[in-house]
């Protein structure tokens, strides 16, 4: 038995087999081979295995997201059959007597460079595809499979670190828990674990090779990862898991109850989602609506820009499933840690302060307009609101509103039905807080993104694991920013909520209610615990003490 300590980002107990997750990006070494024929055969075998994987992915995608989205896997198969690509690899192995991995990686780089230098936009985008499909072959040559959980039984995923684009591709039904060596508790992998309601540890110093395939326990309460647990530990953990389950069942008795404080203040408790599949958890936990749909996860799941039709289908399905409850779709918040290769973004020194979110939407309007058309069209099928991320100025809000009005007018001209769509903004920069009095007059609601607001207020990179101890969302500067935002919202007669991770912090529920927060949007698994805290609060009685305690 071996026990590792990590930092917990979500509680819960998971017991199961470990699967060490291999990175999408393969490390490639070059070495000399003596039998070039055998090496070419090794490449051909890997290529065939890759084609087989792609066929299966295509069938799965057709079933889950439709033929149009699945087409990318067909394109990848065609690329693997491309004679120029194959000739280049064969030739390199033969003439340079190098290993297949090196030949694939070098060919991939050359082809990607060639595609990206083309004038045609379609061809330019193929650069990302040739890299992607080559990585699949490389993963097979290295004895793994690319970005998939290749298992029949649910497993504990252990990895060095996970990028949002990697986590999003995992088959959620097969994941019991996450354990990573690196990563930060404010990263989107941590957020995903919370959304899925499964235990997750970061900063766990595991030797990956020594744990693969072993039986293990993740204790998300104690921050422990126990590999090869002995009999006693296993019994203890099974007992703990049972108790955890009982507690969760007790919370289930709060289903159907209103979120109302002891002194009668009503609060909206909504859920955050990143994917249509998260809706099951939302319904199971009785959330009053969706307070944050991170739409960029749709983009991360695709190998190319999702079309209006693809997006429309997803938004419509969410609106219909929520059956008249509010669904707030946040427009594309890509950039920083959330990267999709086909956006072809330049390398940036400070990506969190860089070209991201609304900045991309306002400079690449065609992407923004496509998304807005899809959102507005879906609004005819439920109660959809839209909100915009990373706002820093009034000018941005005015531009956004102009574009949104044009998109609506265009739809009206085409006789396409559109519902009443409230437009809100995320307050996640100190700039937005400081001008929130004016911004409030322009929009229908505010949603405070405390993850980024903490990052930008405290000048702390939320992704940097070394800064975990400095990243303090309880800092009075952050809490005062939240108070100011809520006050300015109310002055203009609009509502203000919190959709960052802090919304689920039960230590702060009383404080949030004291400053008048109208909505808390949390991971689906936290909805009932937040409801319980609201039911136990007397706002009037506790206000003064709360303000004194936190500000
Ligand atoms: C936030 O910043 O608090 C937020 C909700 O957005 P994200 O975590 O997706 O950046
Ligand atoms: Mg944010």
Give the pair of three-digit tokens for residue 207: 């030797």
- Whether 361 is catalytic is no
For residues 276 and 310, what is the distance between their CA atoms, to the nearest angstrom?
13
- Given a cut of 90, whether residue 13 has pLDDT beyond it is yes
Q: What average pLDDT does this structure show over 308-326?
A: 95
- Whether 188 is catalytic is yes
| Confidence at 150, pLDDT banded by 50, 70, 90 | low
> Minimum mean pLDDT among 148-152, 286-290, 366-370: which range?
148-152
For 446-476, how does the pLDDT look when each residue is reduced to its tens digit (9 = 90+)?
999 999 999 999 999 998 888 989 999 999 9
- Complete edge-to-edge strand list for the sheet that includes strand 200-202: 2-5, 224-227, 215-219, 13-20, 155-159, 175-180, 200-202, 7-10
Q: Please report the pLDDT score of residue 26 as a whole number.
A: 56
> Minimum mean pLDDT among 221-235, 246-260, 284-298: which range?
246-260
Task: Return the axis-axis angle of helices 36-65 and 67-80, rounded to nearest 10°.
Answer: 170
What is the distance in A from the centroid of ligand 2 to the CA of 455? Answer: 9
Which one of the ligands is nearest to 454 CA?
Answer: 1
In short, whether 451's Cβ falls inside 6 Å of ligand 1 is yes
Which one of the ligands is nearest to 291 CA?
Answer: 1
Give the pair of three-digit tokens for residue 91: 């030739």
What's the alpha-carbon Rg for the chain, to the nearest Å?
Answer: 25
**Cβ atoms < 10 Å from Cβ of 472:** 13
User: Which residue owns the Cα nearest ligand 1 atom 9?
Assistant: 294
For residues 183 and 194, what is the distance between their CA atoms, to the nearest angstrom?
15
For 489-520, how does the pLDDT look when each residue is reduced to its tens digit (9 = 90+)?
999 999 999 999 999 999 999 999 999 999 99
What is the distance in A from the centroid of ligand 2 to the CA of 451? Answer: 6
Q: Please report the pLDDT score of residue 264 as a whole number.
A: 97
In short, whether 449's Cβ falls inside 6 Å of ligand 1 is yes
Q: What average pLDDT does this structure show over 51-68?
A: 78
Q: Is 250 exposed, middle or buried (0-12, 13-18, 19+ CB in 10 A)?
A: exposed
Q: What average pLDDT does this structure show over 293-301?
A: 95
Q: Please report the pLDDT score of residue 549 as a whole number.
A: 97
- Given a cut of 90, whether residue 168 has pLDDT beyond it is no
Q: Please report the pLDDT score of residue 148 as a whole number.
A: 54
What is the distance in A from the centroid of ligand 1 to the CA of 18? Answer: 30
> Minimum mean pLDDT among 21-25, 100-104, 429-433: which range?
21-25
For residues 429 and 437, what is the distance between their CA atoms, to the nearest angstrom?
14
Please list the residues that pair with 175 across neighbouring strands.
Answer: 155
User: Which residue owns the Cα nearest ligand 1 atom 6?
Assistant: 449
Q: Please report the pLDDT score of residue 62 as a whole number.
A: 76
For residues 251 and 111, what is the distance between their CA atoms, to the nearest angstrom?
55
> Minimum mean pLDDT among 31-35, 133-137, 168-172, 421-425: which range?
168-172
User: Which residue owns the Cα nearest ligand 1 atom 1?
Assistant: 449
Integer angstrom CA distances of residue 8 from 181, 281, 505: 12, 21, 14
In short, whether 497's Cβ falls inside 6 Å of ligand 1 is no
Nearest residue to 306 via CA among 318, 294, 314, 298: 298
Residues 6+ positions from 347 with CB-CB distance below 8 Å: none
Q: Please report the pLDDT score of residue 73 as a whole number.
A: 80
Residues 6+ positions from 483 with CB-CB distance below 8 Å: 515, 551
Q: What atom in ligand 1 is closest to the CA of residue 389?
A: 6
> Minimum mean pLDDT among 246-250, 258-262, 419-423: which range?
246-250
Q: What is residue 470's three-state secondary structure?
A: coil
Asked if 107 and 85 count as a contact pair (C-beta separation under 8 A), the reply is: yes
Q: What average pLDDT does this structure show over 234-249?
A: 93
- Given a cut of 90, whether residue 147 has pLDDT beyond it is no
Q: What atom in ligand 1 is closest to the CA of residue 452?
A: 2
For residues 520 and 528, what is the distance between their CA atoms, to the nearest angstrom?
12
Q: Please report the pLDDT score of residue 128 as a whole number.
A: 74
What is the distance in A from the centroid of ligand 1 to the CA of 500? Answer: 5
Mean pLDDT for all residues in the chain? 91
Percentage, residues of the chain above pLDDT 70? 95
Which one of the ligands is nearest to 194 CA?
Answer: 1
Catalytic entry in 76, 90, 188, 361: 188
| Confidence at 25, pLDDT banded by 50, 70, 90 | low
């Amino acid at each position: 038995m071996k026990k590792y300590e990590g930092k917990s980002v979500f509680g819960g107990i998971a017991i199961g087999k470990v699967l060490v997750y291999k990175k999408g990006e393969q490390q490639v070494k070059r070495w000399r081979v003596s039998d070039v024929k055998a090496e070419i055969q090794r490449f051909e075998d890997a290529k065939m295995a890759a084609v087989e994987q792609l066929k299966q992915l295509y069938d799965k995608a057709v079933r889950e997201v439709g033929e149009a989205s699945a087409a990318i896997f067909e394109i990848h198969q065609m690329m693997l059959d491309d004679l120029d690509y194959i000739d280049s690899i064969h030739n390199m192995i033969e003439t340079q007597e190098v290993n297949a991995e090196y030949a694939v990686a070098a060919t991939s780089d050359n082809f990607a460079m060639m595609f990206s230098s083309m004038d045609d936009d379609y061809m330019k985008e193929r650069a990302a595809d040739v890299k992607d499909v080559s990585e699949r072959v490389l993963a097979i040559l290295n004895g793994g499979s690319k970005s998939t959980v290749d298992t029949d039984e649910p497993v504990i995923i252990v990895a060095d670190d996970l990028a949002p684009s990697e986590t999003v591709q995992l088959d959620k039904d097969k994941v019991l828990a996450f354990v990573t060596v690196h990563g930060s508790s404010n990263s989107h992998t941590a957020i995903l674990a919370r959304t899925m309601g499964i235990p997750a540890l970061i900063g766990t110093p595991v030797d990956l090779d020594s744990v693969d395939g072993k039986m293990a326990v993740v204790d998300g309460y104690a921050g422990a990862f126990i590999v090869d647990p002995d009999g006693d530990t296993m019994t203890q953990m099974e007992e703990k898991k049972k108790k955890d389950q009982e507690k969760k069942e007790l919370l289930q008795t709060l289903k159907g109850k209103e979120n109302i404080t002891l002194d009668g203040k009503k609060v909206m408790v909504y859920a955050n989602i990143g994917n249509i599949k998260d809706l099951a958890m939302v319904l199971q936990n009785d959330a009053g609506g969706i307070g944050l749909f991170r739409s960029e996860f749709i983009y991360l799941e695709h190998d190319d820009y999702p079309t209006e039709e693809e997006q429309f289908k997803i938004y419509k399905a969410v609106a219909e499933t929520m059956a008249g409850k509010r669904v707030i779709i946040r427009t594309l918040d890509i950039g920083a840690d959330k990267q999709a290769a086909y956006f072809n973004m330049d390398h940036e020194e400070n990506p969190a302060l860089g070209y991201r979110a609304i900045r991309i939407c306002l400079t690449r309007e065609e992407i923004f307009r496509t998304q807005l058309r899809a959102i507005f069209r879906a609004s005819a099928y439920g109660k959809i609101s839209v909100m915009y991320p990373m706002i820093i100025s009034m000018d941005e809000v005015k531009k956004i509103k102009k574009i949104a009005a044009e998109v609506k007018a265009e739809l009206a001209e085409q006789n396409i039905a559109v519902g009443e769509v409230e437009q809100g903004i995320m307050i996640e920069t100190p700039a937005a807080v400081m001008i929130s009095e004016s911004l409030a007059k322009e929009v229908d609601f505010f949603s405070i993104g405390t993850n980024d607001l903490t990052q930008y207020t405290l000048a702390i990179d939320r992704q940097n694991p070394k800064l975990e101890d400095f990243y303090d969302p309880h800092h009075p500067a952050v809490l005062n920013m939240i108070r100011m935002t809520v006050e300015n919202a109310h002055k203009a007669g609009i509502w203000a909520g919190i959709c960052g991770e802090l919304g689920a912090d039960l230590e702060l529920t009383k404080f949030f209610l004291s400053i008048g927060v109208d909505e808390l949007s949390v991971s689906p698994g936290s909805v009932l615990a937040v409801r319980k805290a609201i039911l136990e609060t007397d706002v009037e009685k506790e206000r003064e003490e709360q303000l004194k305690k936190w500000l």
